[in-house]
Chain A
Amino acid sequence: MPPPALSAPGSGRLGSGWASIVSNSLDNPATPSIQRRRPRRLAWLAPASLAVGLLAWEALSRLAGLPSFILPPPSAVGRRFLELASDGSLWRHTLVTLLEILAGLAVGVTVAFVLGYLVAKSRSLERVLEPYIVASQSIPVVAIAPLLIIWFGAGTLSKVMISALIVFFPVLVNTVVGVRSVPADLHDLMRSLRATRWQIFAKLDVPASLPVLFGGLKIGATLAVIGAVVGEFVAADQGLGFLITLNRGLYDTAGVFVAVFLLIGLAMLMYSAVSYVERRTLRWRNGLEA
């Protein structure tokens, strides 16, 4: 006698009951849990730490009498920031780099996710692709960046490709680990409920591996920044990497610091954005864990 087909609330054939079964099974200490909100009373610690760091830096550069080209004080960096910001060039460079990062992340994550899922499902495909995948990680991007510039041109595309190449591996590995971490008995359960392949993918594999996937995505989001800048170091006429090269050539260390801090800001922004999406997407796990 075939198992009873459950009524599906959406287009699928499974009912809402599956979710709780799957989620309860996934709710084990080994899977990464979502970061809980930090207590509000500790919120002052981060800005206070930053302020102390800046003051120490200012004091060091002043007391040691270091010339600005060796270590500009934060006040000099701030002045340079205002100069570059006021003429609009800083935002133009920042926007260029941000677009390269987003495009590189999108390409890298898409390819890594698709390939990672297929590899997770097929041991033979894994054997075939393993050398290429490992090679992609061991390539020193700085060394091949000039070649990528030749192949894809000196425009945005080459930076996007370099960024995607750096993003690819951590996302792929996390995808494979995430998909393979889904308990086999849940697959059995889904199959016993006559779930289609698409339903197993969409209703089990993806939600079940999301916590691990987001881990890879967070790493990828910050690495994408490095990828874009590596490309801009090699050949660019705009972007924050170009701004660093330009200012290094002019011995304008304060200008270099401005660009570096903006890159840090972009990396933090990317990380925070992924964390936000993660919290929103995995809110259902919070309820389960509570």
Chain B
Amino acid sequence: MLHSPLPRAVAGLVGLLALAALSGACSPPPPPEAPRPIRLPMGYIPNVQYAPFYVALDKGYFLEEGIDLEFDYAFETDGVALVGAGELPFSLASGEQVLLARAQGLPVTYVYAWWQDYPVAVAAPVESGITTPADLVGKRIGIPVLGGASFIGYQALMRAAGVSPEAADLEVIGFNQVEALLAGQTDAVVVYANNEPIQLEHLGMPVNVVRVADYVTLSSNGLISNEMTLDSDPELVRGMLRALARGVEDVVDDPEAAYEICKRYIEGLEDADQAVQRQVLDASIEFWRSERAGWSDPQAWENMHDVLLQTGLLKAPVALEEAYSNDFLP
């Protein structure tokens, strides 16, 4: 049996200190707050156009902000309605949706201008000679629906160029613009400049693209929230925007790496036409470049407001200062 040379009291004190030190070393740190699950309505199917979100999620930017992001590929209008009803804190939406929703009493606010330019355009076969809005007079133009970004973009384009939108024959064709133009059902189609023209080119029909953004600046696709969230949880909003801004920056800086990340989030992208998809991403990136990430241009909102009033989609003016905000930007 061993005998301790230390007096019993000292030994007890040392033992207590050792126990305290040991317990201090072993006790777990206070658990970090669990990330908040957030479902984000995207407005479209999984696509390389959502690369900033995929990249930010993949690199853990949202988690760093305490956000456990989940994508919901719901319709744009459904996302806006859910945010307006306070069911969800965020959604992706185009500028006109915000104004139309606010006109119906939905308290939604646009907080991050992800797309700096309006992506809608009119595409026509090169041999048609259509290069300006004036060339569209008397032509049959296929349009997906008589509403939404395509319709508003067309209206804005023609009005900005001083051409009556009624001077062309609009034909509703659903989201079949590529097929309709290839089949010769229409002379031109209203498209997204970063998507269908590339597909048409690869299908053997090079097209001229008349871009809305070349004629008028309009508030485009971005992130929206609601007044309740902005008031009650501004840090959540700021965190969301910081993560998104980092995602956009990474994609712009390294599209190749971003494309590889997209493959993990888009089912079937590996099997898709890589050249087309890569070009769609590159073309989209051109709309995301900005001097200040997410900044909303007041003139773009004024213009959008004017177009909606002129087309009768807005019956009365909407308070623009409540429709968008640059206050939460990183």
A binds B: yes
Instruction: Give chain A interface residues in 220-272, CB to chain B under 8 Å.
Output: 234-237, 242, 245-246, 248-253
The reply on A146 being an interface residue by CB < 8 A is: yes
Closest residue on chain A to residue B107 by CB atoms: A67
B85 within 8 A of A: yes
Whether B147 contacts A246 by the Cβ 8 Å rule is yes
Cα(A12)–Cα(B171), bound, Å? 53
Which of A67, A235, A245 contacts B176 (CB under 8 A)? A235
Bound together, the chains give a CA A279 to CA B105 distance in angstroms of 49
Residues facing B in A146-183 (CB within 8 A) are 146, 149-150, 153-154
Stretch in B126-134, B179-187, B294-302, B322-330 with 4+ CB within 8 Å of A: B179-187
A251 touches B173 (CB 8 A): no
- Counting CB contacts under 8 A, is B23 at the interface? no
Contact A245 B145 (CB under 8 A): yes
A68 in contact with B176 given A154-B171, A251-B80, A251-B81 (CB within 8 Å) = no
Residue with the highest number of chain B CB atoms closer than 10 Å, among A70, A246, A249? A249
How close is A256's CB to chain B, nearest CB, in angstroms?
11
B285 contacts partner chain A, Cβ-Cβ < 8 Å: no
A150 touches B145 (CB 8 A): no
Which B residues lie within 8 Å of A70 (CB)?
81, 85
Known: A249-B148, A251-B77. A150 touches B100 (CB 8 A): no
Instruction: Report if B205 contacts A (CB, 8 A).
Output: no
Task: Indicate which residue in B84, B147, B173 contacts A245 across the interface (CB closer than 8 Å).
Answer: B147
Chain A: interface size category: 20 to 34
For B170, what are the chain A residues with a Cβ–Cβ distance below 8 Å?
A: 237
The residue of chain A having its C-beta at the shortest distance from the C-beta of B144 within the complex is A235
Q: Which residue of A is nearest B108, CB measured?
A: A251
Taking the complex as formed, is A69 at the interface, i.e. its CB lies under 8 A from any CB of chain B?
yes
Q: Report the nearest A residue to B104, measured CB to CB.
A: A251
Q: When chains A and B are docked, how far (Å) is the Cα of A78 from the Cα of B104? A: 17
In the docked arrangement, what's the CA distance between A242 and B175, Å? 14
* Nearest CB on B from A100, distance (A): 14
Secondary structure type dominating chain A contacts: loop
Contact partner, A250, options B147, B176, B179, Cβ 8 Å = B147
Across-interface contacts of B84 in A (CB, < 8 A): 67, 69, 251
Say yes or no: A236 contacts B172, CB within 8 Å: yes
Q: In the complex, how many angstroms separate the beta carbon of A68 from the nearest chain B beta carbon?
A: 6
Distance of A68 Cα from B104 Cα, bound (Å): 8
Closest chain-B Cβ to A141's Cβ sits at a distance in Å of: 14
Contact B185 A153 (CB under 8 A): yes
Do the beta carbons of B172 and A150 come within 8 Å of each other? no
Please give, as numbers and ranges, the residues of chain A lying within 8 Å of B179 by CB-CB distance: 150
Task: Tell me which residues across on chain A come within 8 A of B105, comparing CB atoms.
Answer: 67-69
Shortest Cβ distance from residue B78 to the other chain A in the assembled complex, whole angstroms: 9
User: Shortest CB–CB separation between residue A248 and chain B, in angstroms?
Assistant: 5
Extra pairs beyond A150-B180, A246-B147 (14, CB < 8 Å): A69-B105, A70-B85, A154-B172, A235-B172, A235-B173, A237-B146, A237-B171, A237-B172, A242-B146, A249-B147, A251-B100, A251-B104, A252-B104, A253-B104
Task: Using CB atoms and an 8 Å cutoff, list the residues of chain A in contact with chain B.
Answer: 67-70, 146, 149-150, 153-154, 234-237, 242, 245-246, 248-253
Q: Which 6 A-B pairs have the closest CB atoms?
A: A235-B174, A249-B147, A251-B104, A237-B172, A234-B174, A154-B173
